[in-house]
Amino acid sequence: MAQQHPQPGLARCYQHQERETGVRCTRCDRPICPACMVPASVGYQCRQCVRGAAVASRAARPRTLAGGRVTADSGLVTKVLLALNAVVFLAVLARGDELVVDLGMVGHAADGGTIFAPHWIGVADGEWYRLLTSAFLHQEVWHIGFNMLGLWLLGPQLESALGRVRFVALYLLSALGGSTLSYLLADERQLSLGASGAIFGLFGATAVLARRLDYDMRPILLLLAINLVITFTWSGIAWQAHIGGLVVGSVVAAGMVWAPRRTRLPIQMAVCALVALAILVACLVRTNQLVG
């Protein structure tokens, strides 16, 4: 059998040098063999160009002010949080004080047992989940009503500006910040509950966002001032949770909306991580004070 020689003038595939081809990528003009061809609207493209186009397409998608993805329903997370709070409220009504005692925010207290062998509950006893679960508990209609009204008014705008993931981080860290300051400063036997810490975090974040966009800050500052007056004048309000949520929400929002575009994500992640670390250290110090 006669030996076949390569046809003169045919190029070799840029990925498979042993293969000759007469087809070139319509985007980069490199020769490509059938294994490297991806059908395009006109001709074929190489896999590398197709991957590059996909990355460029993702990068070109519209982003929120903080770099999150723009979604069709910018209030979805807010609605989920509203529904979650409502479901827990119904569960509290059904089970009475039992659920409140099991999930409410308390530092270190005796619950039942005997004087010689009390049953201890609270964050200091290892029940760290209370820092977060307490932020979804409400007993009175007026309490959940005020908090959910604040969430409904502030949530969608912040969610639209930050994006869903960042908004969730803001909300949860604000809730934890409120519980942590209560743990640090309030009587360790005091039982508290409610989403107020998270809501005050949204107040702080809204003020930061208004400053970032150069909006008139007087409405949000007036609303915040009214809520602070209520916080310190009404009895039975855990002001520590309000202030803790306000401070954490302001710090987290500032890190999200003021981060430079080129290094936005690393800075945002670092701010959230540092806030979470500060919360952890504060809780460890307080726990050591109570049971160390």
Q: pLDDT in tens for each of the 292 residues of the chain?
A: 444 444 556 788 888 888 888 788 878 878 888 888 888 766 788 888 878 766 655 555 677 888 888 887 889 999 999 999 999 999 999 987 889 999 999 998 887 544 445 678 899 999 999 999 999 999 999 999 999 999 999 999 999 999 999 999 999 999 999 999 999 999 999 999 999 999 999 999 999 999 999 999 899 999 999 999 999 998 888 899 999 999 999 999 999 999 998 999 999 999 999 999 999 999 999 999 998 6
The catalytically annotated residue of 160, 196, 235, 250 is 196
Please say if 192 is a catalytic residue. Answer: no
pLDDT given for residue 112 in this prediction:
57
pLDDT given for residue 58 in this prediction:
55
Please say if 119 is a catalytic residue. Answer: no
CATH of domain 96-291: 1.20.1540.10
Domain ranges of the chain: 96-291
pLDDT given for residue 36 in this prediction:
83
Is the whole-model pTM more than 0.85? no
The catalytically annotated residue of 108, 138, 143, 242 is 242
pLDDT given for residue 28 in this prediction:
81
DSSP H helices in the chain: 47-59, 76-95, 97-103, 130-133, 141-162, 164-185, 196-212, 218-233, 239-257, 264-291
CB 203 within 8 A of CB 159: no
CA atoms of 99 and 182, how far apart (whole Å): 20
